[in-house]
Amino acid sequence: MELPVPAKKIFILNGHPAETSLSRRFAETYATAARAAGHQVRITNLGDLAFDDDFGQGNYENYKPLEPDLQQVLCDIEWSDHLVLATPMWWGGLPARLKGLIDRTFLPGRTFDTRNTGLGGMPAPLLSGRTARVILTSDTPGWVMRLLYRRALIWQLRRQILGFVGVKPTRFTWFAGASHPKPGLIEKWTRQVHAIGATAA
């Protein structure tokens, strides 16, 4: 007999800047399934947010004050137990506006602590105790992602971004061939995302 999954607080970010996209479809599918399973869900679409994605001076001493939408994203992350990011891979990385959101919001004092360092002088993470799921779409074939690109974006998200601030483990669901999917493939992927959302994994 399976035990019920404890209710979680889940923050979902659709990281595609367009109004309609596969990422938005998957984010909303996950949200619907998670709510039906009894979890608390907050969902945000990157394209609905008003903020300057340019970090500016490039240091942490005189960074720009966060716009209200970025303040809310940070509050939603802090509220959550589990983060879900749905995003495409563009040119081997994240969409520029999504990367700008990360640059602007993942700041010392809220997401990591430069005054409290650990092994090797690394800043202490301030978002520990949270897990994550990344739903990644791309046109890159699996063998190219593994052998030629060495899963660089996955490494960046898991270790250099989410892991750096204490969010771990981060699990990945990766869908390749997203621009020109075969008939029925999007529906199949959507069912997979629904199943993941139902378990809040």
Per residue in 171-187, pLDDT (tens digit) is 999 999 999 999 999 99
Sign of the torsion formed by the C-alpha atoms of 186, 187, 189 and 190: positive
Residue 155's CB is within 10 A of a number of other CB atoms, namely: 13
**Where in the chain are the domains?**
9-198
Examine the pLDDT at 11 and tell me if it is beyond 60.
yes
Taking only the tens place, the pLDDT of each residue in 51-60 is 999 988 766 7
The predicted-structure confidence for 18-51, as pLDDT tens digits, reads as follows: 999 999 999 999 999 999 999 999 999 999 999 9
CB-count burial class (<10 Å; 0-12, 13-18, 19+) for 81: middle
Q: Which of 159, 16, 198, 193 is nearest to 101 (CA)?
A: 16
Q: Choose between 108 and 58: higher pLDDT.
A: 108
Which amino acid is residue 14, in one-letter code? N
Beta bridge partners of 137: 88, 175
The pTM (predicted TM-score) of the whole model is 0.94
Residue-level pLDDT at 169: 97
pLDDT value of position 194: 98
Tell me which of 2.40.50.140, 3.40.640.10, 3.50.50.60, 3.40.50.360 is the CATH number of domain 9-198.
3.40.50.360
